[in-house]
Amino acid sequence: MNAYPVAMPRDAALAPFPPAPAYREVIPAAPLRAGLACAWFYQAPSHPAPPVLVIPDGCVDLIWTQDDLFVAGPDPVAQPAAIAPGALLTAVRFAPGAAQAFLGLPLHAIAGQRIALRDLWGRRARRLADALAMEATDPLARLRSLQDAIARQGPPVPDPVMHALFARLDRPDTLSPARLAREFDLSERTLRRRCHDAFGYGPKTLARILRLQRFLGASRHSSLLRRALDAGYGDASHLVRETRLLTGLAPGALLAQRHG
């Protein structure tokens, strides 16, 4: 089971500090801003809660639980997440194109998985864990400690080509694989391989995931069809087909679950 809390809106950092149970994103520490998209924490409710559905977003997170560190690999499809009552998760989300080099492995090797950092890094993971303030209970203090420990490892740095590819695919207009490869001056085969290494899956899957994220992030005051068209879907059937493929839910049911 996934230990990710929920699929949160990308502008969650702009929200006021919420009461527990709570999810909050914060801007990364200055030395890490090139390589991290955000830092976040999630305080689970004190009572047992049903699993939540984590929506793929093309990203990788390094998550610190009570006494362990694990990597949440890039999800190709939505996964349920069951979290122990009262658990506090503190984490960082890598910027597009930054996780591969920092973790030292192609991301397709961990796609859809949750893996203890010690299983990937061995003794190096212990050195990072030893730098954490394990006694800290305040979420923001834990986030600062986690970021300090990451900075000591050498700040993550995005691959500029893959960072640009992510941004290009996060646009409503679509390109054929051949045109996309020409735009980045790569062969189709090389582009596909590098995308699998950097994001865990190929450009078509990544584009599909980012399109869904745009749909979910659109204004709640727009109609379902307007949200779909603005996100880059061709029509309502396109939206329904891809939403079911990625999440197992119809668009309306997905939005209802997301917004409570």
Best CA proximity match to 11, nearest among 199, 173, 218, 163: 218
Query: Which domains can be identified in the chain, with CATH numbers?
Result: 12-153 (no CATH), 160-259 (1.10.10.60)
The set of residues, in sequence order, having a beta carbon less than 8 Å from that of 197 and lying 6+ positions away, is: 100, 106, 107, 108
For all residues of the chain together, what is the average pLDDT? 90
C-beta of residue 43 within 8 angstroms of C-beta of residue 211 = no
Judge whether residue 243 has pLDDT over 80: yes
Q: What is the pLDDT of residues 43-69, one digit of tens each?
A: 998 888 888 889 999 999 999 998 799
pLDDT at 21: 56
pLDDT at 67: 79
Global confidence as pTM: 0.88
pLDDT cut 90: percent of the chain above it: 77
d(CA 252, CA 3): 25
Best CA proximity match to 4, nearest among 82, 120, 77, 108: 82
pLDDT at 15: 36
